[in-house]
Each structure stands twice: as structure tokens, then as C-alpha cells.
Amino acid sequence: MAVKKFKVSGGTQKKAEVISKLVFKESLSETELDVLAVILDYSTNNAVTLSLDVSKQVKQQADVTDSSFSTSLYRLEQKGIIIRQGKTIQFHPAFSNIHAVDSLIISFKQETQESQTDQSI
């Protein structure tokens, strides 16, 4: 098994983008990424409660309308990135301690010539 270490430079938005592509194999829209990054910045213990005040601040920081905010949360939930229960949003465990992440270590299973042949049969 090969192991590769990726250095992730940038803020929460860049880290969230890399994690979503690697873990979920999803490319997020710019608006989804903006909303995700801001709510991650407000999170503690991999969750956030979106009170009216926090929601308003998130929309302002992400520079999105009410409609875009709601749509982004819906799409993030459909993709499995967040779980909503009322006003509480729980993030997928892949986003735990995202603020402390400065590199990702990824294991790749290398296929042998024999297993490649088996798959083509």
C-alpha cells in the first residue's frame, strides 16, 4: 500500500475543498464552499448551532442571499457533508479539527498486474 502526504496550505475554505474532493469525490459550488467554510469557522466540537444571529453573520461573511444560504445547506446535507437537526449542524467526521489540519496523509492501494487482469475478465 502506497502512502502519500499532501501539504494543504490556505484557510478553511481551501482545506474544506480538498477534503470534500478526496473524501466525498464531490466538487462543491463556490457558494456551497463559501457557506461551508464560514460555518466551519463558527463550529466547535465538529458542530454549530445556527441561531438567527449566527445565520445572519454567516450569510454576510459568505456574501450570499437567504435563498443561496438555504440551498447550500440543503445541497451539503444531500452530499453527506453535514447533518441538520433543527438549528444544529453536525459535520462529517472528516472535517474534525479542520483548523489544525496542515497536511493530509492518504493511503492508496496499488493494484498488482494480476488483480488488474482479474478485473478485465
Q: Does residue 45 form part of some domain?
A: yes
Q: What is the 3-state secondary structure (H, E, C) of 33-102?
A: HHHHHHHHHHCECCEEECCHHHHHHHHHHHCCCHHHHHHHHHHHHHCCCEEEECCEEEECHHHCCHHHCC
Give backbone dihedrals phi and psi of 12, rounded to 5 degrees, phi first.
Answer: -60, -40
Task: State the amino acid at position 55 in one-letter form.
Answer: S
Q: Does residue 121 form part of some domain?
A: no
Q: Does residue 11 form part of some domain?
A: yes
CA distance linking residue 98 with residue 41, whole number of Å:
9
Q: Does residue 119 form part of some domain?
A: no
> pLDDT (tens digit, 9 = 90+) per residue, 5-59?
666 666 888 888 888 887 878 788 999 999 999 999 999 889 999 999 999 999 9
Mean pLDDT taken over the chain: 81
Identify the CATH number of the domain in which residue 41 sits.
1.10.10.10
Angle at 94 between CA 90 and CA 70, to 5 degrees: 40
> pLDDT (tens digit, 9 = 90+) per residue, 65-91?
999 999 999 999 999 999 999 999 999
Q: Does residue 117 form part of some domain?
A: no
Residue 117 pLDDT class (50, 70, 90 cuts): very low
